[in-house]
Amino acid sequence: MGVSEGAGLSVLAATDPLTKTETLGVVGLGLPDLNELGWRWKDSLISLTHRVPSEPTFSAAAIVANIAPIPLAAIHSTHDEFVPLADIQNVLRRAAQPNSRLP
């Protein structure tokens, strides 16, 4: 489970085959498509500027299908000031169907 950047990193972690064996599902709150792989204190200014920091990034939409067969749930505000609703809808459209026979 993760919030914002943590939600994106949760999706990334769930793509790892070894992690999949220990994961029952992923829950993302405010899951952005574009996520940073690194963070510096100066990057905290993005809370004011709403810009992407100058760090390596990855797209959740590009990798989200790889978390199957574990399920993904997303909780998202229709008026999120950082992640537009269209972004999370795009990510969820690309997710593969979970396996209905999880333990």
Question: Which range marks the domain in which residue 7 is found?
Answer: 2-94
Residue 19 falls inside a structural domain: yes
pLDDT band at 102 (very low <50, low <70, confident <90, very high): very low
Instruction: Give this prediction's pTM.
Output: 0.79
Question: Domain tally for the chain?
Answer: 1
Which distant-in-sequence residues (6+ apart) come within 8 Å of 24 by Cβ? Answer: 70, 102, 103
Query: Can you give the chain as a three-state secondary structure string?
Result: CEECHHHHHHHHHHCCHHHHCCCCCEEEECCCCEEECCCCHHHHHHHHHCCCCCCCEEEHHHHHHHHCCCCEEEECCCCCCCCCHHHHHHHHHHCCCCCCCCC
Residue 69 falls inside a structural domain: yes
| pLDDT, tens only, 40-53 | 666 566 666 666 66
pLDDT at 64: 95
Residue 103 falls inside a structural domain: no
| pLDDT, tens only, 25-82 | 999 999 999 988 866 666 566 666 666 666 788 999 999 999 999 999 999 999 988 8
pLDDT band at 103 (very low <50, low <70, confident <90, very high): very low
